[in-house]
Amino acid sequence: SPLKPSTPLYLDFPLLPQQPLVQAVVEDWRPVRANPVAGEIEDIALLKLTADFPLPIEAHPVQLSTAEEKLEQGVKLFGFPSGKLEGVYLDGQLKGGIGTGQVEIHIEPGHGNVQGGFSGSPVWNADKTEVLGLLQEISDYDGTIHAYMIPATTLRHVFGAQIIENPYRGLAAFRQANANVFFGRVGEIQELLRLVKERRFTALVGVSGSGKSSVVFAGLVPQLQESQWQVIECRPEGNPFNRLAVALVKLLTSDKLAQAKQLTTLEQELPTGETKLPALVQVWQEESHKRLLLIIDQFEELYTGNSMVVQQQFMAGLLTLVKSEVPATLLLTLRADFMNQALTYPEFSQALNGNTRFISSMNSDELKEVIEKPAAQVGLRLETGLTETILKDLGTKGGRLPLLQFALTRLFEKQQQGSLTHDAYTEIGGVEQALVKHAEQEFAHFSAAEHSQLRQIFVQLVHPGQGTEDTRRVVVHSQLADKWAVVKKLADSRLVITGHDEKDKQDTVEVIHEALIRHWPRLQEWMKEDRAFRVWQDEFQVDLQRWQAMKKPRAELLRGAKLAQAEEMLSQRAAELSVVEQAFIKASRQEQRRQQRVWQGVFVLLLVLLGVAGWQWWEAVQRESELLKSEKQRLEDSAKCLQKIFNYQ
């Protein structure tokens, strides 16, 4: 049919028994033409899986070949001919291209014939590591069956970004799964590998956007996991002990119920030192016989939103592991502008001395690898001179790798027939403006009514620096519950990323990268206008967290100037305060009123007591006065009697 089907399709995985069907929709439809055009692809449909029907765990996308087909190259075909429900393989050889753009395949004699049930099947290389093409047609002439495939290079050329995974990461850090497209850091990776193997503690320090996390997770970790190392990781945002406990319980047991019990125990005992890291690692190591690498990523988050007491408890706990003899290594990544905070704790400062690695800047050759090698990995081409233009625009200023990756991601999305072009680079705004232009375009897609909510969301996602640059902040669903529909739209536009908090069982959201905070003028203006409010709110949340952690005692409620300021914020900016924050202020207000009533009662009682005492005193004075009068009268009477007696004599 010339019309693209609109109804969903259901896919079966016959080599994976007892797997449910997966739903898909037709994304691209290339029907057979009545009058075929040489070189144009036809008789093929591109399907897109729907989100509600995930792939089976054992199923994964195939690797499409990026190389030109070689004559006489051995291939394997797999199909389901009539009567062979289990499927069969055929061996063949590539014979060369024909005028339609297809490549002819010769089937090895004695191995059976291609027939119905093979159409649309992949044509593998001999060792089945990549797909060379898609079997499209068979014909029979001269008594011989001839098979023809659409080569993978043509599929890439026609469908481009629809079937080629983007090798660039935008504003997201490279992870272990992206190691095959992570380039330009060979020297840094090898040095970090040496330090981790030789030392018990290493801090990788660099400016925001220097690629610290990517070097660790896409460079270092893949090499360690091939040896006798076990890697666990956490970020100290929010409650650092909870984040560490979550990582540890997964190491200690796979039983979900046991994990939940241990999580509660560790979260309570790690801060006090009742349970120590070395003891936990020792128990695990006795069974695993591996060495542990504990990675604390984005360590600066410890200093944004936690009290000094919590900061020092967390650092002290980590140092017990560093100073112990258990087979474990601590690796943390830290933003350079937070070094002063890390150095305020003397013992931690001493540990950092001699164990700090400042990540190196990338030279032009390394940056060239970052641009060109991922493209080559997936069969993309860059127009002549485009790399040089990008490098010139990038400059030598540090912390600009996220801008580079974002620009390359946008270039990939605008590729033309497998090429990254100068025209597309100009269209996106180049390295300097690609991110800002994207943010403004996405902002324009929101309604005027949503703009106010959008501003409130972004302001909440930024921790205002005091002596440091602003940082991103993880916010849970309950803090933005009435704005979550807008949060979801922001996630779709790739300006924020959402996750899940295992402790609170809530969804979370954060700015996709601090580059957005540093380079988007609109967000910078919002923060300039709302900085005083956000500074107050962060300090207020420390009081709130302490009140919650101590089981909400009256003594930890707000009072005095703090309560007065909180009530002012509640009256002016209630829409930007969560239900929990508002409840804390209201509870503090109620406690203040209760105390006022108590003092009023005390004052009244005091007045009553004073009144009673005064009356009793007045009564006593009156009685004394009466007594004095009576005594005076008695004396006067006595005197008169005596006078009469003397006069009589």
State yes or no: pLDDT of 228 exceeds 80. yes
Please give the Cα distance from 222 to 174 (Å, whole number): 12
Confidence of residue 11 (pLDDT cuts 50, 70, 90): confident
What would the mean pLDDT of 412-431 be, rounded to a whole number?
Answer: 91
pLDDT at 546: 87
Range in 109-118, 300-309, 361-370, 535-544 with the lowest mean pLDDT:
109-118
372-401 pLDDT per residue, tens: 999 988 888 899 999 999 999 998 887 889
State yes or no: pLDDT of 649 exceeds 60. no
State yes or no: pLDDT of 641 exceeds 80. no
State yes or no: pLDDT of 513 exceeds 80. yes
State yes or no: pLDDT of 142 exceeds 90. no
- The full DSSP string for 157-174 is HHHGGGTSPP-S-TTSPP
State yes or no: pLDDT of 504 exceeds 80. no
Range in 81-90, 173-182, 303-312, 352-361 with the lowest mean pLDDT:
81-90
- The full DSSP string for 544-559 is HHHHHHTT--GGGS--
DSSP state of 227: T
Confidence of residue 158 (pLDDT cuts 50, 70, 90): confident
CB 318 within 8 A of CB 296: yes
Place of tokens 């005083």: 532
CB 55 within 8 A of CB 33: no
DSSP state of 218: I
pLDDT at 38: 67
- Find, among 200, 176, 441, the residue nearest to 324 by Cα: 200
| Count of residues making up the chain | 649
- Find, among 478, 520, 475, the residue nearest to 495 by Cα: 520
Ranked by mean pLDDT, which of 19-28, 419-428, 583-592 comes out on top? Answer: 419-428
Strand partners, 124: 76, 131
DSSP state of 478: G
Give phi and psi for 165, each to the nearest 5. -70, 135
- pLDDT more than 70, % of the chain: 96
Range in 51-65, 210-224, 456-470 with the lowest mean pLDDT:
51-65
Place of tokens 């690797």: 63
What count of other Cβ atoms lies within 10 Å of the Cβ of residue 570? Answer: 16
Alpha-carbon Rg for the chain, nearest whole angstrom, is 38
Tell me the pairing of strands 291-296 and 229-234: parallel
User: pTM of this prediction?
Assistant: 0.76
Please give the Cα distance from 611 to 605 (Å, whole number): 10
State yes or no: pLDDT of 100 exceeds 90. no
Confidence of residue 20 (pLDDT cuts 50, 70, 90): confident
State yes or no: pLDDT of 103 exceeds 60. yes
State yes or no: pLDDT of 52 exceeds 80. no
Range in 67-71, 231-235, 423-427 with the lowest mean pLDDT:
67-71
DSSP state of 481: G
State yes or no: pLDDT of 39 exceeds 70. no
Rounded mean pLDDT of the chain? 88
Confidence of residue 648 (pLDDT cuts 50, 70, 90): low
What would the mean pLDDT of 188-216 be, rounded to a whole number?
Answer: 96
268-290 pLDDT per residue, tens: 899 988 889 999 999 999 888 89
What would the mean pLDDT of 638-649 be, rounded to a whole number?
Answer: 69
Confidence of residue 152 (pLDDT cuts 50, 70, 90): confident
